[in-house]
Structure 1
Amino acid sequence: MTRVRFYKLRSSLKIVNDLDVTEETTKSDTLWGVRPLLDHVRQGCLSLPRCDKVCVDEQIIPFTGGCPIRQYVPGKPNPNGLKVFVLASPNGLVLDFEVYQGKNTFRGQRLGVGAAAVLRMVESVPTGTYVFFDRYFTMINLMDAFLSKGLPATGTIMKNRVPKQCQLPGDKQLRKEGRGASVTLVRRGPELAVTKWFDNKPVLMASTVYGRYPEDICSRWSNKDKGHVQVRRPAVIREYNDNMGGVDLCDRMLSFYCMSSRTKKWTSRVMMHFFEVAITNAWIQYKSDKLLDSPPYDDSSEDSEEEYQPPTKTRIPQPEPSVRRLGARHMPEMMDIKHAMARHT
Structure 2
Amino acid sequence: KIFVLSGVSGFAYKTEIETGKENVVLQEEPDLGASSNVVTRLARIIPRHQNFQLYFDNYFTSLRLLEYLAKEGIYSLGTVRRNRIPDCKLQQEKEIMKKERGYSEEYVADVNGIDVSTVAWKDNKIVVLASTFAGQKPEADVRRWDKQKSKYVTIKRPYVVGEYNRHMGGVDLIDSIMGIYKIRLRSKRWQVRLFYHYLDLTMANAWSGDEKYSHLAEADIQKVVDASKNALNWLENARQALAHTPRYQQPPHTTHQIRQERQNFESIVNPVLNKPKPKPKEKTPPPANNTAGDAQPAANQDTQSQAQQQSQEQMDVE
**Counterpart of 1:129?**
52
Matches within 5 A, 1:59-98: 83-98=1-16
For the 8 Å contact 2:3–2:18, the answer to whether it is kept is yes
For the 8 Å contact 2:36–2:62, the answer to whether it is kept is yes
Change in Cα spacing, 1:174 to 1:333, as seen in structure 2 (3 Å) is same
Taking CA–CA contacts closer than 8 Å with sequence separation of 6 or more, which of the two structures ends up with the larger relative contact order? 1
1:106, 1:226 → 2: CA distance? 52
Cα displacement (A) at 1:150: 1.3
Cα displacement (A) at 1:221: 3.0
Any idea what SS the aligned residue of 1:114 has?
helix
Unaligned runs of 5+ in 1: 1-82, 297-311, 324-330, 335-345
Cα displacement (A) at 1:289: 3.5
**Counterpart of 2:41?**
120
Change in Cα spacing, 1:253 to 1:160, as seen in structure 2 (3 Å) is same
**Counterpart of 2:293?**
none
**Counterpart of 1:193?**
117
Residue 90 of structure 1 aligns to which amino acid in structure 2? V
1:69-117 CA-to-partner distances (Å, cap 9, x unmatched) read xxxxxxxxxxxxxx11110001111011111112225245632221110
Aligned equivalent of 1:222, options 137, 146, 154: 146
Cα displacement (A) at 1:174: 3.0
**Counterpart of 1:158?**
81
Q: With structure 2 as the length reference, what TM-score do the two structures score?
A: 0.65
Matches within 5 A, 1:1-345: 83-107=1-25, 110-127=31-48, 128-164=51-87, 166-188=88-110, 189-293=113-217
1:204, 1:221 → 2: CA distance? 21
**Counterpart of 2:246?**
none
Change in Cα spacing, 1:294 to 1:124, as seen in structure 2 (3 Å) is closer
Q: With structure 1 as the length reference, what TM-score do the two structures score?
A: 0.60
Any idea what SS the aligned residue of 2:24 has?
coil
Unaligned runs of 5+ in 2: 221-281, 289-300, 305-309, 314-318
1:112-145 CA-to-partner distances (Å, cap 9, x unmatched) read 2211100001111112211110000011111111
2:202, 2:189 → 1: CA distance? 21
Cα displacement (A) at 1:222: 2.8
**Counterpart of 2:253?**
none
Residue 149 of structure 1 aligns to which amino acid in structure 2? E
For the 8 Å contact 2:76–2:133, the answer to whether it is kept is yes
1:261, 1:220 → 2: CA distance? 43
**Counterpart of 1:342?**
none
Residue 123 of structure 1 aligns to which amino acid in structure 2? R
Aligned length: 234
Change in Cα spacing, 1:172 to 1:261, as seen in structure 2 (3 Å) is same
Cα displacement (A) at 1:169: 2.0
Percentage identity across paired residues of the two chains = 32
For the 8 Å contact 2:107–2:117, the answer to whether it is kept is yes
Cα displacement (A) at 1:226: 3.7
Cα displacement (A) at 1:276: 1.2
Any idea what SS the aligned residue of 2:212 has?
helix
For the 8 Å contact 2:23–2:37, the answer to whether it is kept is no
Residue 103 of structure 2 aligns to which amino acid in structure 1? A
Any idea what SS the aligned residue of 1:232 has?
strand
